[in-house]
Amino acid sequence: MPFDDRLQEFLDALDARDRRRTLLRLDAPTGPWTQEGSRRLVNLCSNDYLSLAGDPRLAKAAAEAAERYGAGSGASRLITGNLPIHEELEAEAARFTGREAALLFDRVITRTPACFPPWPAKGM
């Protein structure tokens, strides 16, 4: 069976079980509530645990940081280098937690290899 046919069969099976995921277009920013057209929806799946995404103070600080430092890193700090703002934030996190030092990561996928090295192979 050609690949396109197999793919269509797979998608049809998902549709039959109401399991195909689609993107929901929202008309409001993230937060505890959002909006799809005229429907107001409670948002139970956000990663915005502290409800900071919609905080105007944070938006203002982010805009100022983007003006000063640019809108993206281009790569990880290990590749493109460290900015003083990174070191200041880590020093503040260390002070706040009462630790000697802190190392911050932008997402779990970059943290995991640093904190949990690969399992050693047999004989290592």
**pLDDT confidence band for 15 (50 / 70 / 90):** very high
| pLDDT score for 87 | 93
Where does residue 112 fall: left (phi above 0), alpha (psi -120 to 50 degrees), or beta otherwise?
Answer: alpha
- Residue 124, in any domain of the structure: no
Task: Tell me the two tokens of residue 76.
Answer: 């990880």
State the Cα–Cα distance between residues 14 and 2, nearest whole angstrom: 19
Does 6 share its domain with 46?
Answer: yes
User: How many domains is the chain built from?
Assistant: 2
Does 67 share its domain with 23?
Answer: yes
Does 5 share its domain with 66?
Answer: yes
| Range list of β-strands (E), 1-124 | 33-36, 39-42
Average confidence (pLDDT) over 95-119: 77
Q: Which residues contact 58 (CB under 8 A, 6 or more apart)?
A: 52
- Residue 122, in any domain of the structure: no
Backbone angles phi, psi at 108, to 5 degrees: -60, -40
Residue scoring higher pLDDT (92 or 54): 92
Does 4 share its domain with 54?
Answer: yes
| pLDDT score for 77 | 80
Domain membership of residue 112 as a residue range: 73-116
State the Cα–Cα distance between residues 26 and 36, nearest whole angstrom: 5
Residue 41, pLDDT > 90, answer no
Q: What is the pTM of this model?
A: 0.55
Q: Which residues pair with 44 in a beta bridge?
A: none
